[in-house]
Structure 1
């Protein structure tokens, strides 16, 4: 789709603003959404390949088939585009809405945690969200100035939900030290697999990729056994502290 003419005119006229969405024809608004979504998808691939610093808005727009001014129109700047890419990448790995829906089901907390871990293992090991994983890996290894936005908009809200879930498994409040440790223990293996290059996994630990479903099952067993041990120890400690008050 050609870039909206109204905005190109506005760039040359200080006192003229782009038309509001309410004033735009319905088909134009729908086309705008499609253009924005396409820019985000293409930008994700470009940032995954080149990184935040080396990626260029020109390449993104050329591959997306849109005007260079589209980035400023839809995202405000290259930084705004990259922030949107980071948030979208995290959403593709762990969707907050899906996570909220899962935690609202009647399944017990242990089954919910296993479902979250299994989904993450499958995505990580099979590369079903390849550019999203690569973007997040780059950001973890070499944080950009937009890293705080990723933590604020995506990671922190997810962590609150997951802390609540792990707290339910442990039978402890979500702010308890054992809950935060348990959460890090549960998800650290997936983080390691994300950061480690696929070639490294294949050469050093080749069995990992042979049976991804089995890997997910074993991680669930390992995690639940560890959480059970934490619950036993810290539940006993809490009981002793209560008795000594």
Structure 2
């Protein structure tokens, strides 16, 4: 009688996910240096061998946690599907803002906290995250911004636009709900109003930079579509 391979794969994936969740919670709460493999195994109710089997070692586990945290924030599959859709480029950018604002307003899960820890105190593992998760997503977003502005994706002008647009979203995500001061005030805004502000501000900036880019290169600069104000 053949072995139930499908069940074995399912059980293995469930164990892997349980380890990821336990590790994510401990790394977020205590940091990479303090969260031991033994503590993670105990929280996940597995033995140490299971961690090594699924992730190779503690470094591999931490890198998998960072990658999973970033995927929960916004996945490359979803971004590519959005970029390949028939929506106007301006609407694609709005959809990105909707996703990030939605995440910023959720109860702070381990994924945001573990990413915040890594960004505030970068380790060598950040380079792996950049290569595997961040840079491929940046390439997709840059193409959307290029379609809006007419600026080539690798031009420094567009990269500066990307940073200017992404930075406020990053601040909102790291701050999370309940943040004091101006960030907390912004996060109290209704989601659609916050999305509309970020989108309108980004579109105005892209239009201005696109216009300046056209002048500096002596080329006609396509006018970005005006941001639609949703009330």
Match of 1:91 among 71, 75, 85: 71
Q: Match of 2:174?
A: 195
Query: What whole-Å deviation, never above 9, does each CA across 1:148-173 have from its counterpart, x for those lacking one?
Result: 11011011111111111111111121
Contact persistence 1:170–1:228 (CA under 8 A): yes
Match of 1:58 among 38, 41, 55: 38
Number of aligned residue pairs? 218
Contact persistence 1:202–1:209 (CA under 8 A): no
Q: Match of 1:207?
A: 185
Structure 1 window deviating more from structure 2 (133-142 vs 118-127): it is 118-127
Q: Secondary structure of the residue that 1:167 maps to in structure 2? A: helix
Q: Match of 1:41?
A: 21
Contact persistence 1:44–1:131 (CA under 8 A): yes
**What TM-score, normalized by structure 1, do the two folds share?**
0.83
CA distance in 1, matches of 2:164, 2:125: 26
Contact persistence 1:122–1:213 (CA under 8 A): no
CA distance in 2, matches of 1:196, 1:26: 42
Q: Which runs of 5+ in 1 are unaligned?
A: 1-22
Q: Match of 1:223?
A: 202
Report the structure number with the largest CA radius of gyration: 1
Instruction: Go from structure 1 to structure 2 and tell me whether the alpha carbon gap of 1:126 and 1:213 turns closer, same or farther (over 3 Å shift).
Output: farther
**What TM-score, normalized by structure 2, do the two folds share?**
0.88
Q: Which runs of 5+ in 2 are unaligned?
A: 221-231
Superposed CA RMSD in Å reads: 2.0
